[in-house]
Amino acid sequence: MPALKSNLELSLYARDSYERRVVLGDKFDDERSVEIMRELRRLDELSCEPIVVRFESNGGDYYPGERLASCIEGLGSIVIGIVYGHCFSTAMLVLQACNVRAALPTAKLLFHNNYKIVNVRLTPDSDITVLSGMLAQQIERRRQIREETITNLTRRVPSFTAETLSRLLQENDPTPRIMSAGEALLLGFLDGIVKI
């Protein structure tokens, strides 16, 4: 990751980069992720100036988020991710793919473990055998996502170890971890805090 030349320089990018800014807002899915990737690639082809990704997101589906993170890693331009309001769930994975990761002092970041969260609708006619199979499939899928998350974050953030992430993603603790910008900086999720 490129070193921050100064917080002032980063603050100027955060404030003045309207032509090369992409907003990752709300929840994102396949369709929104494709739109953002197209815009990032378009900006990357136009020039090698830094691109700012403004994060104000509740996250979204894991695989579209992972594809977006891979897209960011493949760009020739430096990508500066700045959390303006909140950066939750899968949006945190996307933020970690940015070359420079920063947040406003009031930003909130959420990292959580959804390993044991499953969705099954019960009806009076539900077949327990079918439901138990569905539960097992969902739990296995969540376990795979958890393992991929740990692998990808340790690859993207050298200061993270698999042990640190395993503690953050404790299998039996689905409690979301909401962090202030200062705490996220100390844990290695951010490179800097900026004031606009």
With a CB cutoff of 8 Å and minimum separation 6, the contacts of 78 are 2, 50, 51, 99, 100
Which of 72, 146, 92 is CA-nearest to residue 116?
146
Report CA 87 to chain centroid distance, whole Å.
Answer: 7
Instruction: Return the exposure string of 18-44: e unless at least 16 CB atoms fall within 10 Å of the residue's CB, then b.
Output: eebbbebbeebeeebbeebbeebeebb
| pLDDT higher than threshold 80 for residue 81 | yes
For the stretch 98-133, pLDDT in tens is 999 999 999 999 876 554 444 445 555 556 666 666
11 burial (CB, 10 Å; 0-12 / 13-18 / 19+) is: middle
Per-residue pLDDT band for 44 (boundaries 50, 70, 90) equals very high
Measured distance CA(32)–CA(36) in Å, rounded: 6
Do 104 and 196 touch, CB atoms closer than 8 A?
A: yes
What predicted TM-score, i.e. pTM, was given to this entire model? 0.72
Closest CA to 32 of 55, 65, 54: 65
Instruction: Name the average pLDDT for the chain.
Output: 76
- Looking at the chain, the whole-number percentage of residues with pLDDT higher than 90 is 28
> Does 40 score more than 50 pLDDT?
yes
Per the structure block, which two tokens stand in for 146? 């958890």
